[in-house]
Structure 1
Amino acid sequence: MEVFKTHGAFSWSELLTSDPAKAAEFYGKLFGWSVESMPGGPPGAPPYQVLKVGDTAVGGLTACPQQGMPPAWGVYVTVDNVDDTVAQARQMGAKVLMEIMEVPTVGRMATLQDPQGAVFNVITYVEMPDEKA
């Protein structure tokens, strides 16, 4: 199963942390992950780091976007259409914590909170050049 193309598949995990350097060191030693900084990003935003097992990207790591926000792991679920999924989630009682946004070279995503309070992200990935038929 290709998790980046399969609707409903968990496809990415991301750590928001108060100390990215210490977190990278901890998880690197614990799981053998390497950390690679990703170029780009919005001006003034903390650098985004990709966590890898060998050459395979398995997750991401960045600073918490707001001071005082507790560190947490977040999950991403692949969807066929972010707009439709967000609209359906709203109708089902979910809150939209972060409206749909474009992530250059990655896709379109939004952050939702289910009616019980659990937070998750939905994403539709862009088609990569080597994936085009």
Structure 2
Amino acid sequence: MSKDKSDVGQIHWRDLTVGNAEEIKDFYTSVVGWEASKHDMGTYHDFDIKTPAGDTVTGICHARGDNASLPPQWLMYVKVESVKESADNCIEHGGQILDGPRYMGEMFFCVIKDPAGAVLAIFE
């Protein structure tokens, strides 16, 4: 794990995982003006979402495979020092673990729900 703690606590990514990613991608490209490009997932494609200037700002993903249990909402990913420690603290303070801790590619992450019902992904 990196010793650089300067970005701990910062939002690094956000995405949306839904059953109908193709339709929802079309919704946001029409409503917000984003552009979408296919992101190869092997047997299907998720979508990299870009601004009109070409900056990738988010993703819209299919709720398939390991991601089938992710909630259908905009999910922010916040960097923490230790996913395991943060997940344990989540439970200790009345929250729930919705997914993980697990690896997605090289990222170790977990999806938590706070006592008010809000959902957040944490990663290291």
TM-score, normalized by length of structure 2?
A: 0.75
Cα distance change on mapping 1:104 and 1:18 into 2, 3 Å? closer
- 1:109 is aligned to 109
- Deviation string for 1:5-46 (max 9, x for gaps)? 6112222221122322221122112222222222346xx6x5
Letter in 1 for 2:108: R
Give, as a single letter, the amino acid of the residue that structure 1 aligns with 2:73.
Answer: A
Aligned-residue identity in percent: 22
Q: Name the amino acid aligned to 1:98.
A: D
Matches within 5 A, 1:1-133: 6-40=7-41, 47-53=45-51, 54-65=53-64, 66=68, 71-105=72-106, 107-124=107-124
Q: 1:127 maps to which residue?
A: none
Q: Tell me how far apart the structure 1 counterparts of residues 29 and 16 of structure 2 sit (CA, whole Å).
A: 13
Q: Counterpart in 1 of 2:3?
A: none
Alpha-carbon RMSD across the aligned residues, in angstroms, is: 2.6
Letter aligned with residue 16 of structure 1 = T
Aligned counterparts of 1:81 and 1:47: Cα–Cα separation in 2:
31
CA offsets per residue over residues 34-86 of structure 1, 9 Å max, x none? 22222346xx6x5322211233221111123459x984222221212212211
Count of aligned pairs between the two proteins: 115
Following superposition, the deviation at residue 113 of structure 1 comes to 0.9
Shift of 1:100: 1.1
